[in-house]
Amino acid sequence: MKHPDMHLIIKLHPGDLHINYSEAILEYFNLKNVSLIVNYNIENLIIASDCLITTTSGTGLEAMLVEKPVIIILLRDIKLMQSYTHNSVYQVNKCEDFEGVLKLALNEPDHLITNQKKFLNENLVKVDMYSTKRVSKIIKDLLSS
């Protein structure tokens, strides 16, 4: 990584079978400030982090709940879930844009956090008889992405 003062923790999905491949990539590129983790409590990692970077995952919602900036990497074949609204996440679909978005997430998170609160209030904590339906829809969107 270009930033020796940062440490990137890569938490593989519990169902990911490619740990040996992932470790080989880290070794090949001689990445010193990167850790690869398989079995670790994701909630503790989110709380300890400054920012969450993901593709499509429920962990984005978990990070929002503890007011962490979320960056979604839009892979070629994966569309951003329509459920993320109010500009509640940063989106990156080009490698050259990543560093600028990361700086924004780390140095100026307040606007994003405000948008995340709006998103969460409308979809998760609004007190009415439809909150379960809203949460269910978000989870279904996550699973179908």
* Encoded tokens for 130: 């439809």
Cβ–Cβ contacts within 10 Å for residue 116, how many? 25
Q: Calculate mean pLDDT across residues 88-117.
A: 88
Mean pLDDT of the chain: 79
Question: What's residue 51's pLDDT?
Answer: 92
pLDDT at 9 over 70: yes
Cβ proximity of 4 and 101 under 8 Å: no
Cβ–Cβ contacts within 10 Å for residue 60, how many? 26
Question: What's residue 128's pLDDT?
Answer: 65
Nearest to 70 by CA among 102, 41, 38: 102
Question: What's residue 68's pLDDT?
Answer: 92
